[in-house]
Structure 1
Amino acid sequence: MKKRIIIAFMALCTAFASVPAMAADTNGTAQETRKENRNGKEEYSDVSVLTGEPITPELASQRPIAVMYPIDKAAQPQYGLSNVDIFYEMPEEGNMSRQMGILQDWQNLERIGNIRSIRSYFVYEALEWDPIIIHYGGPIDYTIDILTRKDVDNLNGVGGPLGGDYGCYYRIPAGSRSEHTAYTDAAHIKSAMEKAGFSAEHRKKYYNKKHFLFAAKANKLTQYADSMPAEVVDMSGCFPVTKSALKYNEKDGKYYKTLYGKAQCDAATGEQMTFDNILIQRASWEPRAEGSSYLRVFVESDGKDGFYITKGRMIHVTWAKGEGNDYKPTVFYDDKGKEIRLNKGKTMIFVVKDTDSFSVDGLTYEPDDHHTLTPEYVTEKEARLAEEFDEDEVTEDYSEEE
């Protein structure tokens, strides 16, 4: 019986990869926090810093969790993904990547994980949201300085010098010591926070209420003459093992996430991950030490360029993060230097090496190159001509060709 259930679930996720998944009836698993007025109607009198969507004041004041999700094929699917508001994917050693979810509404989740180790640059990204960091260890030499700071609240599943677990985690199956078997849930996290003395509400000293700018109405990027179509986002050039990608669904205006060529689904709901915004953030990087496979990815202050993708279109952007305060938000600007406005909803953030390439709608974007976007769009033919001739010799205008 158990074998049949597993096979059925795998078939369900495979189907989701080719056809946009319908939102499952979660019966409260992917929770909405609400309160009712005297007429029985929901009242949302605050706005989420993560999504720009209406939420209750109680939820707005609650600290989110930053969960380290492994991306290994054997670790899929995972619990809690339906509640992820901001999803990061960043490189790690061995051409692999790792993912971190920022969850605002987590207090009723019955299972979260599985959970894996963290890298220092994930911590720096997480701090922008003043979260409780949920992780299962990490390379001590390269994370101890940041994780042992008094302002950083983390629950470390392996205990030791990187911080205690305070009873936060358990194994499935019980007693297992193998990877991909560590989990937690809302009750365990709340209990561990109390034992550790962590604040359940945002800390005024560190919390930044202003992060993304959100558009009042749908931002289709039509105000940018050089915006380009962007329906298929293929990140396999940056993440060759996982082949992380997204595909746009015009019917609901969302991008559907795939991993290893299959839909990336929440194990609890069967629901495929979808996003309203995609940010591709190029970053400088270097090996931690000569001969080391561990990386340092400069997300703290070293601004470079990137792309913003939403509603089937894309623009080139730059990003910057103010120095001297790890809790300051990363800010994204258009090519005129104006801060961009995201659409309300969930956001996928790819932080990629500035030496890697990726493709959008079949057009490859090489390192430090954004193809000088034009209203008529850059064609593969134009790109080939640029390689064959010196720039001064290319006199014909191919910008009108399809």
Structure 2
Amino acid sequence: MAMLLSACSEQAEAPVETDPPPLATMAPSAAPSASPTPIVPAFTAPLTGKGVQGPIDARPYLVMINNHPKARPQSGLGSADLLYEVLAEGEVTRILAVFQSQPLTGAIGPVRSIRPYFIDLAKSQDAIMIHAGGSPDGYAQLSKEKLNHLDEITNAGSYFWRDKSRKAPHNLYTNLEKLAAGIDRKGFETSQQGTVRSYPFIQGDSAQPAGSAATTLDVTFLLKSYKVSYRYDSGAQRFMRFINDEPHTDLNDGKQLAADNVVVLEAPHRVLDDAGRRSVDLSEGGKAMLFQRGKAREVQWKRSAVDDPIRLYDGATEAALYPGQTHFLIIPDKPGLGERLQFG
């Protein structure tokens, strides 16, 4: 786990600034100099595209984060490489936070339980799963496939803690140090085997995305009383996240969550039982909308195999992401994007 902790602590090297030449050395008739070529980092993080000081092949952690109103604001979400948001039981969503390359010394949580389609997303990133409990089908899959996971209830309780300022089950936390210790104790493989999961990223800050203007977007998963919104901040060149029109913040630093890329995709959902547990098909692909730098365009999401992450395609070409954090919002295909997504 030293590799993961090292990767999390490393920062991109800043470009070296140089003073311009004295005016006396410049010929009066000289044409204006061209804009400097952007410095491309020698190494970039696979899931964010941000510069790092060395290659990263560490397996990420995928942490199941409680998104009940009593669990907000959560801790650590602003430091994740990726966020997935998807329905759990009934009308409640869960946020799955993927940690691989960004530094974080604070808490992560509140942590909640696992489901088979959460496991599917973890396998797509070759991630070690972090959770507290699970559905019967989720536990059965973990056992049958012998998947690497830390569960506060069954195998890793000492690597979590309860915060007395909140009531259970909205008060269970962990951090990267405890997770590293638990994974080391379990002897889990910490490096990705074979090809490291990554995305294509846009190089050059001046590059503009295709699509139509879209500075606001609102997503309703099921309940009209629960709305996720993003508002584009042109200064930061990021989409700021809101829940029910209130800023969604990270408890660790009080900062509002923001995304450099927002993906809203539809997938088949099926309710399995009276408790509202679901099956979500994340293998077949389908329609999606990609929001970047105040623009929106329709794309297709696809997965080539169970160990390949969700990818976005514009025709035959994989759509590139802007470096930074990406949010994937997964909604039911019925009624789908036409009813559940509003933007403009």
TM-score (norm 1): 0.71
Unaligned runs of 5+ in 2: 1-7, 17-39
The alignment-based identity, stated in percent, is 22
**Corresponding residue for residue 110 of structure 2:** 114
Q: Partners in 2 of 1:237 and 1:187 — Cα distance?
A: 34
Q: How much does 1:314 deviate? A: 0.8
Structure 2 residue 320 is matched with structure 1 residue 341: yes
**Corresponding residue for residue 221 of structure 1:** 209
Q: What letter is aligned with 2:151?
A: N
Structure 2 residue 181 is matched with structure 1 residue 197: no
Q: What letter is aligned with 1:65?
A: Y
Q: Partners in 1 of 2:79 and 2:275 — Cα distance?
A: 35
Q: Partners in 2 of 1:55 and 1:155 — Cα distance?
A: 28
**Corresponding residue for residue 288 of structure 1:** 272
Q: Partners in 2 of 1:180 and 1:195 — Cα distance?
A: 27
Q: What letter is aligned with 2:333?
A: D
Query: Using a 3 Å threshold, how does the CA distance of structure 1 residues 342 and 143 change in structure 2: closer, same or farther?
Result: same
Q: How much does 1:149 deviate? A: 4.7
1:2-401 correspondence to structure 2 within 5 Å: 32-34=9-11, 45-57=42-54, 60-105=56-101, 108-140=104-136, 142-150=137-145, 152-159=147-154, 164-165=155-156, 167-173=158-164, 178-200=168-190, 202-205=191-194, 208-218=195-205, 219-222=207-210, 227-236=211-220, 238=222, 240-289=224-273, 291-299=274-282, 301-323=283-305, 326-334=306-314, 336-356=315-335, 357-361=339-343
Query: Using a 3 Å threshold, how does the CA distance of structure 1 residues 312 and 110 change in structure 2: closer, same or farther?
Result: closer
Q: How much does 1:322 deviate? A: 1.8
Q: How much does 1:138 deviate? A: 1.2
Query: Using a 3 Å threshold, how does the CA distance of structure 1 residues 92 and 241 change in structure 2: closer, same or farther?
Result: farther
Preserved CA contact (<8 Å) 1:51 1:345: yes
Q: Partners in 2 of 1:146 and 1:48 — Cα distance?
A: 30
Query: SS in structure 2 opposite 1:113?
Result: coil
Render the CA deviation track for 1:120-177: whole Å, top value 9, x for unaligned: 111211222222211111112x212432255621111111xxxx11521111129x87
**Corresponding residue for residue 32 of structure 2:** none
Query: SS in structure 2 opposite 1:90?
Result: strand
Aligned-pair Cα RMSD in Å? 2.6
Preserved CA contact (<8 Å) 2:45 2:101: no
TM-score (norm 2): 0.82
Render the CA deviation track for 1:321-345: whole Å, top value 9, x for unaligned: 124xx211222111x3321111111
Render the CA deviation track for 1:178-220: whole Å, top value 9, x for unaligned: 21111112222122112211123x2314xx4253211223553
Query: SS in structure 2 opposite 1:125?
Result: helix
Q: What letter is aligned with 1:195?
A: R
Q: How much does 1:108 deviate? A: 4.8
Unaligned runs of 5+ in 1: 1-30, 363-402
Task: Count residues in correspondence.
Answer: 309
Preserved CA contact (<8 Å) 1:83 1:103: yes
Q: How much does 1:352 deviate? A: 0.8
Query: Using a 3 Å threshold, how does the CA distance of structure 1 residues 307 and 249 change in structure 2: closer, same or farther?
Result: same
Query: SS in structure 2 opposite 1:235?
Result: strand
Preserved CA contact (<8 Å) 1:80 1:109: no
